[in-house]
Amino acid sequence: MIDLFLRVLEFAAPILAMIGIGLFGAGVLTEMGLMEGLNRIARPIFSFTKLPDACASAFVVSVGSAVAANGMVARFRDEGCLEEKEVILCAIMNSIPVYFRELFTYQIPIVLPALGLVVGGFYALVFIITALVKILAVVVLSRIFLKEGTCRVPESVHRERVAFRAAVIRSFRRERRLFFKIAAIYIAMTTLVFALRDRGAFDAFSVLPLAEIFGIPPESIVPLTTYVASPIVGISLLGPMIHSNGISAVQAMIVLMLGSMFMLPFFAVRSLLPRYVGLFGPRLGVGIVVFSTGMSILVRFVILLVLLALG
């Protein structure tokens, strides 16, 4: 039990640190009157939606850290500034910069060398398409379900600008209760997920029957199954098969789509669910994770159908 708790703390500490930086940092920016400048940067991007200025401010922060940005959204929600529908769409928008950041931290340095230009480029393109689909979904859904957003930077920004030290003190006093609430929920959820994983709850899954249905070569079963547990290892195993012509480019793309479709729910439960439940509570947190993960899976499913049609 102690070992489990120590592993949970080791995993959760960096995430909670980023959440704390996001909450307290946003509070400092607000107290010093700098949030209004952040709004101007993101306003052109959000001009196509009906999301409020508060979401634009959080989106700017998400370029550096999606966790910190969602911490801001959680604070705006708890203050009654954002409605639940706005929170969901704001959180989806905050995930967009991650896709483009991973082009330079994951796709180009790892995936392209391992899979080659054709298959690796295809895999990177899937990430970009997923991001664009999510942006389009936010634009359409905000125009259908939202009124013009009214949540703006708190009035203190316009009334008063304080010194940095005073801003830090005010931010800490205002955000500490929310931070401790988020930390408690996040640690509890992470402990549950780690305990389930130790009991094999995430390992009792075989992709063999589905792989046979899609006509994938038998030798691709190992990288496909491995991809579900670890995409990097799965890609490393798939790469030599591509380079030795043991599997065609289209078949490799099918393996990647199948693997990622089955990997995403496990990733969502292991990593995203504790984070979003900690920030937004069980009902809203689960809703955001299901919505975002569902869109990612849908994109891969459509691409998979296209690949199967191409043969």
For 197-246, the pLDDT digits (tens) are 677 655 545 555 665 677 677 767 777 777 877 787 788 778 888 877 88
What average pLDDT does this structure show over 140-161? 70
User: How far apart, in whole angstroms, are the C-alpha atoms of residue 120 and residue 118?
Assistant: 6
Using DSSP's 3-state secondary structure scheme, residue 181 falls into: helix
Q: How many CA atoms lie within 13 A of 293 on its CB side?
A: 21
| 93 pLDDT higher than 50 | yes
Backbone φ/ψ region at 152: left (φ over 0), alpha (ψ -120 to 50), beta = beta
Q: Which amino acid is at 261?
A: M
CA distance 272 to 285: 9
Q: What is the arithmetic mean of pLDDT over 121-148?
A: 93
Mean pLDDT over residues 176-200, rounded?
77
Using alpha carbons, list the distances in angstroms from residue 258 to 1, 34, 106.
36, 45, 19
Examine the pLDDT at 158 and tell me if it is beyond 50: no
CA end-to-end distance (rounded Å), the chain: 51
Q: What is the 3-state secondary structure (H, E, C) of 125-164?
A: HHHHHHHHHHHHHHHHHHHHHCCCCCCCCCCHHHHCCCCH
Confidence band of 33 (pLDDT split at 50, 70, 90): low
Contact 191, 4 (CB under 8 A): yes
Q: How far is CA 133 from CA 46, 114, 179, 200, 233, in A?
A: 15, 26, 32, 34, 27
- Average pLDDT over every residue of 115-127: 93
Reported as half-sphere exposure (CB side, CA atoms, 13 A), residue 70 has a value of: 30
For the segment 302-306, the average pLDDT, to the nearest whole number, is 94
Return left, alpha or beta for 155; rule: phi > 0 is left, psi -120 to 50 is alpha, else beta. Answer: alpha
Look at residue 85 in the predicted model and tell me its pLDDT: 94
The pLDDT of residue 156 is above 50? no
pLDDT of residue 179: 79
Query: Hey, which of 82-86, 182-186, 262-266 has the most confident mean pLDDT?
Result: 82-86
Yes or no: say if 22 and 67 are a contact pair by the CB < 8 Å rule: yes
Look at residue 115 and tell me whether its pLDDT is greater than 80. yes
The stretch 244-272 carries a mean pLDDT of: 89
For the chain, strand residue ranges (E) read: none
Range scoring the smallest mean pLDDT among 71-80, 231-240, 259-268: 231-240
